[in-house]
Amino acid sequence: MNKQLIKSIIGEKQQQISRTRLIQRNEHFDEQSCYVLIGIRRAGKSYTLFQDMQAKVSAGKAVVDDFLYINFEDERIASIHAEELGLILDAYREMYDQKRPYIYLDEIQNITGWERFARRLSEDKHHVMITGSNAKMLSREIASTLGGSYIQRYIYPFSFAEYLAYHGVILERNWAYKPETRQTVLRHFQEYFYYGGFAESFNKSDKREWITSLYQKILMGDIVERNKIRNPRIFRLMARKLADSVMQPTTLTRLEHIIISTGDSISPTVLKDYLDYMEDAYLTFSIPNLVSPLTEQQTIVKRYFADNGILNLFLLNGDTKLLENIVAIHLHKQYRNTAEELRLFYYNKGVEIDFCIPEANLAIQVSYSIDDFNTYEREVGGLTKFLNTFKQYKGIIITWDTERQIANNGVTIDVVPIWKWLLT
């Protein structure tokens, strides 16, 4: 590999740092740690690298010459081998008289054997940030691959607050009481609710077409090809049925029966693998029942999609499902379950609660509207029963547009519209 070429690429990317227009996202990193950014395809992992560099410059901690950024999808270095990766660091040091850089390695999984280089950088106490394609670098493999020397950071599509910032909407104090600002927020929320938070789609004239293309890339590249699935049709059917069932707990047995009813056959083992593949690609995530036995917490779960735009591809008149899904995404950002720790649950034992967060003492019901008498009795009655049993909890009902406070049988429940809850 030619060092002069590497130097040209380093200089070119340094110029790109200041030219890249970014909307500030709520991501902050410890300079003493190394990170691997994970998350669904096109969520903004590369974007986050540039944000971190710009943040360091803005804070006066660095100038652009301090950054060594390489994108390994650049065809000019596509032929580099793992044993040559050290040349990148050598080239930088020759350019800047042995200066110690901040290192950003984008899509490094394209280089077979990259792990040894990444571990060496960490052992040498460099600040390193890495992104990689979900098709070749899964979160459950990273810990063993990098020996625990890197912190995993989950990068999500844009939140609603970030979506508004992207569109230049600035929320002043008491904005919800100002009719013009409120209408602007509601107008933007309609689009965000149906098309989600993938920033590349925001300026597309046909957002659904772009999201469909993204889903196909995730399906075929990150799931079918990687895992050598022989019958993608069954996998597509399963994904559609999960979308139809997004508000309900699903079991392997139920999904197996649904697939068998279409004339296909699938074993429970293969079905479980398929569900794991969807989570590996960050297409879906699951939450267990708080009061289920430990074994059932792995098998009887509610599954949600990582972005409303993708879920909406499967639905017709699916506002109720989209509403609960967008709440699940927001809570998942705050209380994401990991292999080591469960933090986000639903509750089903005598009463059903859509979301339950023990560490925050928070119980949440989601209902598009509570104007109907039967719906009101079900949602308010169920939450009241739960709150009278677990008195330390606070109860919230999230709706499309209702805002009020309900006093019922000794408890107080806040009813909040979804667009306001997402911003507070």
pLDDT interval class at 285 (50, 70, 90) = very high
Q: Please tell me the pTM assigned to this model.
A: 0.93
Q: Which residue did the predictor score with more confidence, 150 or 418? A: 418
Q: Which residue did the predictor score with more confidence, 347 or 293? A: 347
pLDDT interval class at 149 (50, 70, 90) = confident
Residue 167 has pLDDT above 80, yes or no: yes
Q: Which residue did the predictor score with more confidence, 250 or 369? A: 369
Q: Which residue did the predictor score with more confidence, 244 or 135? A: 244
How far apart are alpha carbons 102 and 216 in whole angstroms?
35
Q: How many CA atoms lie within 13 A of 411 on its CB side?
A: 21
- Overall average pLDDT of the 93-107 stretch: 93
- What are the φ/ψ torsions at residue 131 (nearest 5 degrees)? -120, 160
pLDDT confidence of residue 138? 60
CB-based contact 97:121 (threshold 8 Å): no
How far apart are alpha carbons 254 and 162 in whole angstroms?
38
pLDDT confidence of residue 134? 65
Q: Quick one: which of 300, 160, 323, 337 has its CA closest to 247?
A: 323
Residue 144 has pLDDT above 80, yes or no: no
pLDDT confidence of residue 65? 95
pLDDT tens per residue across span 185-235? 999 999 999 999 999 999 999 999 999 999 999 998 889 988 888 888 888
pLDDT confidence of residue 1? 73
Residue 142 has pLDDT above 80, yes or no: no
How far apart are alpha carbons 260 and 45 in whole angstroms?
39
How far apart are alpha carbons 123 and 202 in whole angstroms?
40
pLDDT interval class at 140 (50, 70, 90) = low
- Overall average pLDDT of the 387-416 stretch: 97
CB-based contact 123:116 (threshold 8 Å): no
Which residues, at least 6 apart from 155, have a Cβ–Cβ distance to it below 8 Å? Answer: 27, 37, 38, 39, 43, 44, 45, 48
Pairing assessment for the beta strands 362-366 and 404-408 based on DSSP bridges: unpaired
pLDDT confidence of residue 424? 86
Structure tokens at 166: 């992207």
- Overall average pLDDT of the 381-408 stretch: 97
- What are the φ/ψ torsions at residue 287 (nearest 5 degrees)? -130, 140
pLDDT interval class at 295 (50, 70, 90) = confident
Which residues, at least 6 apart from 173, have a Cβ–Cβ distance to it below 8 Å? Answer: none
Residue 136 has pLDDT above 70, yes or no: no
CB-based contact 153:37 (threshold 8 Å): yes
pLDDT interval class at 141 (50, 70, 90) = low
pLDDT interval class at 148 (50, 70, 90) = confident
CB-based contact 393:413 (threshold 8 Å): no
Residue 26 has pLDDT above 70, yes or no: yes
**Residue 87: strand pairing partners:** none
Quick one: how far is CA 351 from the chain centroid? 29
pLDDT confidence of residue 8? 95
- Overall average pLDDT of the 80-101 stretch: 93
- Residues 224-227: contacts with CB under 8 Å, at least 24 apart: 225/135, 226/135, 226/136, 226/277, 227/273, 227/277
Residue 57 has pLDDT above 70, yes or no: yes
Q: Quick one: which of 246, 251, 334 has its CA closest to 292?
A: 251
pLDDT confidence of residue 344? 97
pLDDT confidence of residue 89? 95
Q: How many CA atoms lie within 13 A of 292 on its CB side?
A: 19
pLDDT tens per residue across span 323-373? 999 999 999 999 998 877 899 999 999 999 999 999 999 999 999 999 999
Q: Which residue did the predictor score with more confidence, 144 or 32? A: 32
Computed over every residue of the chain, the mean pLDDT equals 92
pLDDT interval class at 58 (50, 70, 90) = very high
